[in-house]
A and B are shown apart, each in its own frame.
Chain A
């Protein structure tokens, strides 16, 4: 019987060299990413384990991104501990508070290649599936054990295959598609499973659009979101990786899937999608929410804070103004994204429209800083989670949407179909 991408990649990282869905296997990790969880939670676990070494300083990537730069003493202390760890063990890869959001900077680093097995101390570590790597998030204890041994155990997931055909043209974005897919799957519809995204729509996508989809696979509970590399992904890796460009892993033709879903974007008539609070799985067409007044429009995060996201927002907002009843906050996902947006004039356009542009950080998305919501406030956000309290007060309302919908809504001060602003 044939194998899925998850089975193949996990299998190639075991001593036995193969694995099948349902097996629990010990795997060697190619790369571990840790952020503030290191200083806050992992270091105490390492102390408890009496570990005073790291398995491989060239395979650990440390990032200070969630509360960057530190808005308070507690964050500053966590950042200080991370820096101390990096110095003490001579960790090769460190992005301090000036760098950006972990998933984006890791993708930019060239350290992720097709066929790799990557673990991150963050649930959105599924993002790297966009380059054909198996990646998933684990928490402090598992990360501590990986730091010590380079190994962890995984239950090999069954896979849901999703094929998507049809044109996804602006202002429709991959965010609309993934919100629709999560709504159909439900927020635990892919629990314990991996998702493979295939089809011509995915094949044609930019790396940025692909990352958005794999990033949000976790919102359906998935262990990983995987795509076979397309030309954009190959070019991305080739231009960034030093030498080794990885091994592309394709699923076998007779791979066994627990479910196979087909989407034809024309026949389903995909519209811009919006997920109302309190769940990313509550997505519905934007028409059902039009007219809801907003206090804040947030454009950023590991989900949608990349150059194409900022670009479409600037395109929609050029010569317009953020509605006087609302504020717009733009947080580029990384320094690289920020610099490229500066060169393209995107930052200027957004600033002229009245947006606030912050440094690169997780910031408002985790309710940390630079855009936290107050009681009863309504935010339309390009981020990934709208759980109660996620971006601040528990009574704040978060509507998840694409960067295009966020920009259109910022201009009108209410939730707006981006197709209306696009034509004006």
Chain B
């Protein structure tokens, strides 16, 4: 599994809740690509159009608080976001992100340490973030083993299928 992510860092504030990541009024859109055009449009209007694969969202405290909606990490992933780095995460967002295979890294004072739009390289397994233009290396908290297993499998659905296959082959 390649877990080196290269892209630009997009910085948002503390307490970006799930309604700000994707507003409830868009939850009836069944197609994620269509829904993702509205991602983060409240705190960062126009950002969704700028995001390219490998970019990273950097946030402050309690990113993803509020609703249980899996659409929140999903629209970021659909836009190509490689990982989210925050000072802290609301537990539902954190769980949902790993469930769909989107890494969420915890970094103290995260959103004060990045310049908006700067180039970063992230090694998820090592928890290392390199700010390329400034030659700065930041160390995130290690990803817990269960979350790492989810990432390595490619998400909870992939892990479920692997386990089901194992069970079936054992029975045979």
Binding site for B on A (CB under 8 A): 24, 36-37, 40-41, 45, 48-50, 67, 72, 74-75, 77-78, 121-123, 125, 137-142, 144-145, 148, 153, 187-188, 191-192, 221, 223, 279, 366-368, 385, 387-390, 392, 394
Contact = CB atoms under 8 A, between A and B. Distances in A.
Given A123-B67, A142-B156, A390 B92 contact: no
Contacts of A192: 91
A187 B15 contact: yes
Nearest to B62: A188
A145 B67 CA distance: 19
A141 B157 contact: yes
A367 B24 contact: yes
Contact of A137 (B42, B62, B92, B146): B92
B91 A153 contact: no
A187 B62 contact: yes
B157 A48 contact: yes
Contacts of A125: 68
Contact of A389 (B23, B30, B90): B23
A401 B99 CA distance: 35
Contact of B28 (A74, A138, A140, A148): A74
Contact of B65 (A77, A142, A188): A188
Contacts of B156: 141-142, 145
Contacts, number: 107
Interface string B1-27: 000000000000001010110011101
22 contacts: A121-B68, A122-B67, A123-B66, A123-B67, A125-B68, A139-B68, A139-B69, A141-B96, A142-B95, A142-B156, A144-B157, A188-B15, A188-B61, A188-B90, A191-B88, A192-B91, A368-B25, A385-B19, A387-B19, A389-B20, A389-B24, A390-B19
Given A49-B160, A387-B17, A390-B19, A366 B100 contact: no
A388 B19 contact: yes
Categorize the interface residue count of chain B: 35 or more
The residue among A45, A49, A188, A394 with the most chain B CB atoms within 10 A of its own CB is A188
B65 A221 contact: yes
Contact of B70 (A78, A141, A385): A141
Nearest to A190: B91
Interface in B34-90: 42, 61-62, 65-71, 88, 90
The residue among B15, B88, B146 with the most chain A CB atoms within 10 A of its own CB is B15
Given A141-B99, A390-B24, 13 more contacts: A36-B27, A41-B71, A139-B70, A148-B160, A153-B146, A188-B90, A191-B88, A221-B65, A385-B17, A388-B19, A388-B20, A389-B23, A394-B23
B70 A387 contact: no
B136 interface: no
B28 A223 contact: no
Contacts of A141: 70, 96, 99-100, 155-157
Contacts of A77: 30
Given A141-B99, A191-B62, A367-B25, A279 B157 contact: no
B111 to A, nearest CB: 15
Contacts of B42: 388-389, 394
A23 B159 CA distance: 20
Contact of B23 (A138, A148, A279, A367): A367
B113 interface: no
A325 B16 CA distance: 33
A78 B28 contact: yes
A368 B24 contact: yes
A387 B61 contact: no
A34 to B, nearest CB: 11
A121 B92 CA distance: 11
A92 B91 CA distance: 31
A41 B24 contact: no
A78 B29 CA distance: 10
Interface in B109-163: 146, 155-157, 160-161
A221 B62 contact: yes
The residue among B25, B28, B146 with the most chain A CB atoms within 10 A of its own CB is B28
Given A24-B146, A74-B30, A188-B90, A139 B99 contact: yes
Contact of B157 (A45, A138, A153, A392): A45
Contact of A75 (B17, B28, B70, B92): B28
